[in-house]
Structure 1
Amino acid sequence: MSPEAILADAIERALVHPRRVPLVLGLCGAQGSGKSTVAAALAARFPHSVVLSLDDLYHMRRERARLAAAVHPLFATRGVPGTHDIALGLDTFAALDARQAAPLPRFDKATDDRVEAALWTPAPVPAQLVIFEGWCVGARPQDAVALLDPVNVLERERDPHGVWRRYANAALAGAYQRLFARIDMLALLRAPSWGRVLDWRLEQERALRQSGARGDGVMADAEVQVFVSHYERLTRHVLDTMPAYADLVLQLDDDRNCVAVHRR
């Protein structure tokens, strides 16, 4: 079965009984794993659905610049916990739970900035299903000892004292857990390896360049490899630990086909 068919079956069973608030599916998967495609397919299948991406909650460039100046220069790059506007996410969920026409935030990766609020699309009223997708949706923080050693060249050379990764981990342990607590069912699209994640991300960026997109957020291959290094630590952590607590784990092969399903 395809990932969307497996998830659709789980959603149908969860929606059998009436609900006062929307069902929230947390859909986690590394970059390039097909989250957006699966989320769109599910939204098309179920009426009154909302797709909310963690990526659309990124802080605006000026906010990340302030964080970079105050804490660590690596926070200028979107990605790790600490670079998202969690208050915006919590407010959005609160509005959806209140059955309001909540405007859904949008982030433009080509310009590396949030789209102005006047252009956000309102959610259907009432929303019955929220597909909350993102590369670290549902992730839990690492133990302090796991933060001691760098995992790649970026951390070794640009975060030798661990300031960046400790701050990101503390953010994940705090406000992010309040946001993730709203998830009713957590599903992981589990990539076969970190190396495959890098390949998938390169494919994504090449497609973006071929589409004619322009802006500071459009990257060459060498820039992609540096960019994904920001995500490597937590992606590896998710691949190793989330299968123990996710409600559904869909194991992917190199071509993003689901080759095994584990249910909790």
Structure 2
Amino acid sequence: MTEVESIIAAWASGHLPQSAQLKQLIAYELANSRRCHVWGVTSETAAAKLKQRAQVLQALVSANVQLPLAGRQWSDLILSFWSLWLPLSLWLAETRASLARPMVQGILGGQGTGKTTLTQILSLILQQLGYRTVCLSIDDLYKTYAERQQLRQQDPRLIWRGPPGTHDIPLGLSTLQQLQQAAPGQPVNIPRFDKSAYGGEGDRITPQQVSDIDIVLFEGWFLGVRPIAPERFLVSPSPINSEADKAFAKDINQTLKAYLPLWEKLDRLIVLYPEDYRFCQQWRRQAEHDMKATGRDGMSDQQIDQFVSYFWCALHPELFIKPLAETPGLADLVIEISADHTPSAVYCP
């Protein structure tokens, strides 16, 4: 544990930092200018901002909140808490407080970027701050099993659920609208999807009923992604190689237009952005290897490569995700993810 981590851990346990220790924390914070810009930290506001984080962290520790950290303790991920999860939660709370209705926070992240863990941790921290949240995945909006079978007959290229065109957009719009307009105490049905139904094809299950929601954490692998100009496909990145690949990519790009009304419901968008988009393929392999190591069925490396290539043909990260992470005004926050799944940077595009 580094000296900075030790100071934070002690503060979380109720031991106030000495003046020199607080200065050390402030210096650590101010050393990262991009992160300071995101969280509004300056030399004048740093002490107050850090004390605010520490108060929330103390509340979590004293309440012995069980966090979804795969067997690890919060102290194993001190800097992730301190530099990302706590200030991000406070950032969301500040935004919600400025609205006269529930907030919809979009979270875009592919396989292995940690979007599910992030939404769970944010929910727990926001609960400590007095905000009720609900997590909604784009996966929860899949069309029914019967509808997707019919869809596959119409377009045999839709061999997997997941690409644009396999979701019930009116269901998503209706759900978000109800959450934003519900009266106090009024129940709202949140669609849920069981991926194991029909031998892994998946189907809808009984919706979850919620009420008095303050913040909706809406996540998905292409959430907020926008159509691109058709000429971008003239020189396409691999695996969009054949004319058939390009035709599929262009058709999916066209289908993406139908999702724009759904994205308009987002108040803010966070992009979980791997330092190298190919990490997702490595992460998927590792996940399948881990699953098979426990005796469960899993994909072979060849099947994984085919699976990943299919989705890269549909919406290639270089064509669709990179612009969101680099173009001002398209996303509000970018969190870069390193090869070991941990956040390595946070900034505004």
Please, what TM-score do these two structures have when normalized by structure 1? 0.85
Q: Which residue of 1 aligns with 2:299?
A: 219
Unaligned stretches of 5+ residues in structure 1: none
Q: Which residue of 2 aligns with 1:242?
A: 324
Q: Which residue of 2 aligns with 1:120?
A: 207
Q: Which residue of 1 aligns with 2:195?
A: 109
The 2-side partners of 1:257 and 1:134 are apart by 18
The 2-side partners of 1:32 and 1:209 are apart by 17
Tell me if 1:14 matches 2:95: yes
Q: Which residue of 1 aligns with 2:220?
A: 134
SS at match of 1:120: strand
Q: Which residue of 1 aligns with 2:147?
A: 63
Tell me if 1:87 matches 2:170: yes
Unaligned stretches of 5+ residues in structure 2: 1-78
Q: Which residue of 2 aligns with 1:181?
A: 264
Percent identical residues: 30
Structure number, greater radius of gyration: 2
SS at match of 1:46: helix
The 2-side partners of 1:40 and 1:213 are apart by 25
1:159-190 C-alpha deviation (Å, 9 max, x unpaired): 616443222111212x2110011111111111
User: Measured at CA, do residues 210 and 40 of structure 1 come closer, stay the same or move farther in structure 2, by a change above 3 Å?
Assistant: farther
Q: Which residue of 1 aligns with 2:251?
A: 167
Q: Which residue of 1 aligns with 2:122?
A: 42
Contact 1:64-1:76 at 8 Å conserved across structures: no
Q: Which residue of 2 aligns with 1:263?
A: 348
Contact 1:136-1:234 at 8 Å conserved across structures: no
Q: What residue identity is the alignment partner of 1:114?
A: D
Contact 2:274-2:337 at 8 Å conserved across structures: yes
User: What do you get for the CA RMSD once the two structures are aligned?
Assistant: 2.3
How far is 1:148 from its partner?
Answer: 4.2
SS at match of 2:244: coil
SS at match of 1:104: strand
1:78-105 C-alpha deviation (Å, 9 max, x unpaired): 1211111111111111221122422222
Contact 1:139-1:242 at 8 Å conserved across structures: yes
The 2-side partners of 1:60 and 1:107 are apart by 9
The 2-side partners of 1:109 and 1:163 are apart by 28
Q: Which protein has the bigger helix share?
A: 2
User: Measured at CA, do residues 211 and 91 of structure 1 come closer, stay the same or move farther in structure 2, by a change above 3 Å?
Assistant: farther
How far is 1:27 from its partner?
Answer: 0.5
User: Measured at CA, do residues 27 and 12 of structure 1 come closer, stay the same or move farther in structure 2, by a change above 3 Å?
Assistant: same
Q: Which residue of 1 aligns with 2:274?
A: 191
The 2-side partners of 1:82 and 1:160 are apart by 18
User: Measured at CA, do residues 172 and 180 of structure 1 come closer, stay the same or move farther in structure 2, by a change above 3 Å?
Assistant: same
Please, what TM-score do these two structures have when normalized by structure 2? 0.66
User: Measured at CA, do residues 208 and 238 of structure 1 come closer, stay the same or move farther in structure 2, by a change above 3 Å?
Assistant: farther
User: Measured at CA, do residues 259 and 112 of structure 1 come closer, stay the same or move farther in structure 2, by a change above 3 Å?
Assistant: same
